[in-house]
Copies of this chain bind each other. A is one copy, B any other.
Amino acid sequence: MYKKEEKEDLILEAALKVIKEKGFHGARMADIARKAGISYGLIYHYFKNKEAIFDAIIKRWWKGLFRSMEAMEENGDIRSRLLNIIYYFLNAYKEQPDLVNIFITEISRSTVNLNEERLGYFKRFMELTDRIMQDGIDCAYLRQDIKARYLTYIFLGALETFVSAMVLVSQRLEDDSLKHRIASSILEVFLNGARKRE
């Protein structure tokens, strides 16, 4: 089924744009269909219902992030692994700003639509990040007087806030050097506070 996946992607892409503009609640199936250039009845051949579209979007986001993080676990140093997370957000933002927008505005904070599955993604993300921090603490790269989980909060908090600010002002990231500058800013500020001092 090659075509099937393409069509699903077409729908998800359209859904992304509409949800970005109107939010999940405000996004109507008819809007999504129109944006995708198909009839709205057809959406139901590919997705059980509106919820399923949202789930697919969420899943897409997390799966990519997890894959990227896990790939680095074996052979990456702490800096590289943290940078990896940052770049996942920044690259995603560059290529699919709508997706990041939705992550920031609809996924990352909402307790409303939170179900077991979605909560699970978060926990996993926290755990994967915790593991980086714990590795850093263990190898004496990061300070040892703060719990890994707290470092995770600081790191992800800073990252999210930066990205949120970019989302809010619709910052363009076409210039790669700007992207690198932002990435290292986030990293350095965090490390400055979190690195072990001698």
Q: Residues of A with Cβ closer than 8 Å to B?
A: 20-23, 25-26, 101, 104-105, 108-114, 119, 122, 143, 146, 150-151, 153-154, 156-162, 164-165, 167-168, 185, 189-194
Contacts and interface: CB of A to CB of B under 8 A. Distances in A.
B101 A111 contact: yes
B168 A112 contact: no
Number of copies: 4
A153 B162 contact: yes
A192 B191 CA distance: 10
A102 to B, nearest CB: 10
A156 B161 contact: yes
A194 B109 CA distance: 26
Contacts of A160: 157, 160-161
B26 A112 contact: yes
B112 A22 contact: yes
B122 A168 contact: yes
A187 B109 CA distance: 22
Given A23-B25, A104-B109, 13 more contacts: A23-B110, A23-B113, A25-B25, A105-B109, A111-B167, A114-B168, A154-B158, A154-B189, A156-B161, A157-B162, A160-B160, A191-B193, A192-B192
